[in-house]
Amino acid sequence: MSRWVDRLVLFALACAVPGAGVAGESGGTMTVRGRFLYTAAGERVVLRGVNEMFAHSPDPTGQWTLPEIARTGANSVRIMTTPDYAAETLDAVLRNAINNGLIPIAECHAATGKWEKLGDCVDYWTRPDVAAVVRRHRRWVLVNIANEAGAEVSASAFVAGYRVAIARIRAADIDVPLVVDGSDWGKEYEMLLDSWTPLNAADPRRAILVSAHSYWVGTEQQRKAPYRAIVKRVTRENIPFLLGEGPTSSGWDCGASPYRWAMRVLQRAQIGWLTWSWGMVPNGDCRAENRYDVTNDGRYGHWKSDAGEALMISDPGSVRHTSRRPCSISNAGALCTPPSGGRRRSLAEEAQ
């Protein structure tokens, strides 16, 4: 089995070497340098935003939802897709995100908790009409290969499966950064961080980011422990990492989690995060005190709970207070981040 996997990877990579298929190999996409994400114009971006389930939304292209999200000051949005999410709908939602100053992270939700479905997501991204849409928006889009693929997955299977996925996507002329989620419904992070080096080495673009989701449970200290471990490894080993779903006010058990503390920790470490989820499509989980929905109905200011308001605008570690858009994106705002290591004044500095 391992020989077959290696042969498939080598064949696909041969189709994706520079000058042999990947569009725009010389530039024009976001890139990964060290542990940070950079725009094509050279601006460093620390992702701050929110998820939304556009694949199930009455507003599937985000025509009015994305402007509401943009009002928070977010610089990014993680967009749920499924294999039946049409290419023309994907095209529209990516365009609407970018026009509202939001870097789109498109994720495929077909493999959640199901390792055997990883290939279904790869089939979606490599479908000619979908791949063409990704290429059209290649300057800004990131592809999150599969949301939370797998429950219990061995390290060898995880690396082998994603090596094939990366190779197939690159062979489809998709050259944007790729995001790999942890298994165990996104909660696993140790094996994920271990896997970054071999997965990034398998990518001819060297543009792999890894992502975990913050549904950890236990005592308060046990819920803080994954954050501490992640920050330590990511900063020490220079691993490009983001919290693709989180911080959240609840773990998977619906018990309270230290999200305010987590925002401060992630800000100090300059690690990206996108909380789950905006709320135009209501969540089925944790409907009581610690809700996952940020808003009641997808409208800015219609906060579902104190946690939603704190995550988005009111806490010092919130999206509003820590997000910076790159100056080269539409509707970047006065506090955007310029290229070449320069910076605009922060909100705190502006208030002085």
pLDDT tier at 6 (50, 70, 90 boundaries)?
very low
pLDDT one-digit tens code per residue, 228-264: 999 999 999 999 999 999 999 999 999 999 999 999 9
Residue 300 makes CB contacts below 8 A (sequence gap 6+) with 68, 69, 71, 72
- Residue-wise pLDDT for 271-295, tens only, equals 999 999 999 998 878 766 557 999 9
Q: Quick check: 141 and 94 in contact, CB under 8 A?
A: yes
Predicted pLDDT at 342: 52
Domain ranges within the chain, ordered by starting residue: 2-351
Cα separation, 288 vs 298, whole angstroms:
18
Per-residue tokens: 97? 């995100």
Residue 152 predicted with pLDDT over 80? yes
Q: What pLDDT, on the 0 to 100 scale, is given for residue 283?
A: 86
Segment 3-19 mean pLDDT: 41
Smallest CA-to-CA distance from 83 within 106, 62, 63 is with: 106
Indicate the Cα dihedral angle 90, 134, 276, 300, nearest 10°. Answer: -60
Tokens representing 49 are: 């935003």
Residues 173, 23: contact at Cβ < 8 Å?
A: yes
pLDDT in tens, 295-339: 999 999 999 999 999 999 999 999 999 999 999 999 999 889 999
CA 178/CA 118 separation, integer angstroms: 14
- Give how far Cα 149 sits from Cα of 71, 130, 202, Å: 31, 20, 19
With 50 as the cut, is the pLDDT of residue 340 above it?
Answer: yes
pLDDT tens-digit map of 104-113: 999 999 999 9
Topology of domain 2-351 in CATH is TIM Barrel (3.20.20)
Residue 304 has what pLDDT?
92
